[in-house]
Amino acid sequence: MTRKNHTKTLAVSGIMAALIFVFTALVHIPVPGNTSGAYMNIGDSVIYCSGMLVGAPWAAAASGIGSMLADILLGGGIYIPATLVIKALMGLVCALLMKKAGLPKFILACVLGGAIMVAGYGIFEWVAFGWTYAVGTLVFNLIQWAAGVAVAVALYYPVNRTKGLLI
């Protein structure tokens, strides 16, 4: 990668981290009946798009950092380290799967990224809060997964068109 392309990719990755933060922090719904700070959001849709735009490992960094900053702002407390790891893994897997463009690959990457989120938070909540809590939040994680995929698919064509302009 040339220095010019490296700088562009770094700049776009920073913008993606900021967008992930904004979509997560501004459009969030606290999970009913919990005191842990868990919430649903549509920031995952931007994570999926970052995988398409900047690739790995840039998407992983943008995804983890943007999501973690939202947790810090929203008082996610105990979720902060888990969010950094889970969301970075989502961004990394999505970027690796999207090396070859196309809507079917994008949808597959989004679905697998969402599965990582549901499984990651399920395991984390089971360890941190117990099995009952993890099962209780499963429905909300599934809703977030579906909403994130739906919004990302709606954004696919506009984001894909801008890819050539940005990178």
Long-range contacts of 115-122 (CB under 8 A, 24+ apart): 115/145, 116/86, 116/89, 116/90, 117/44, 117/86, 117/87, 117/90, 117/141, 117/144, 117/145, 117/148, 118/142, 118/145, 120/82, 120/85, 120/86, 120/89, 121/82, 121/86
Rg (CA), the chain: 15
pTM of the model: 0.91
The pLDDT value recorded for residue 34 is 63
The pLDDT value recorded for residue 36 is 61
Strands (E), 15-159: 28-30, 39-41
The pLDDT value recorded for residue 1 is 58
Residue 63: closest CA among 98, 16, 12: 16
Q: What is the pLDDT along the chain (167 residues), one digit of tens a residue?
A: 566 688 888 999 999 999 999 999 998 887 776 656 678 788 999 999 999 999 899 999 999 999 999 999 988 789 999 999 999 999 999 999 987 778 999 999 999 999 999 999 999 999 999 999 999 889 989 999 999 999 999 999 999 888 877 76
Torsion of CA 33, 36, 42, 45, to 10 degrees: -140
The pLDDT value recorded for residue 148 is 93
Structural class in CATH, domain 3-166: mainly alpha
